[in-house]
């Protein structure tokens, strides 16, 4: 996964930067969270599957943190 900048609106991604280009989110297809191995100090991770003009992307971040990661979904 690649580090990306994400702009949020109403607690959902509305735009992100991918390879130095601004990508607009057309819709949020799905979202979920997964608990990491808490006994190893891993945090809960938030996932968003979004539809854009460039296709489907998976965006994620650790709960309580602002660093986002993303990748296109094949």
Domain regions of the chain by residue span:
2-72
Whether the per-residue pLDDT at 74 is higher than 80: the answer is: no
Q: Which range has the worst mean pLDDT, 2-11, 33-42, 55-64?
A: 33-42
Three-state secondary structure call for residue 20: coil
- Sign for the CA dihedral angle at 67, 72, 28, 8 comes to positive
Reported as a pLDDT band with limits 50, 70 and 90, residue 38 is: confident
Single pTM value for the model: 0.90
Mean per-residue pLDDT over the chain, rounded? 94
Whether the per-residue pLDDT at 6 is higher than 80: the answer is: yes
């Amino acid at each position: 996964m690649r580090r990306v900048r994400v702009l949020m609106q109403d607690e959902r991604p509305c735009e992100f930067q991918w390879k130095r280009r601004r990508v607009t989110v057309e819709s949020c297809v799905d979202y979920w969270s997964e608990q990491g191995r808490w006994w190893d100090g891993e945090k809960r991770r938030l996932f968003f599957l979004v539809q854009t003009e460039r296709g489907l992307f998976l965006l994620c971040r650790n709960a309580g943190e602002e660093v986002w990661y993303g990748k296109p979904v094949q």
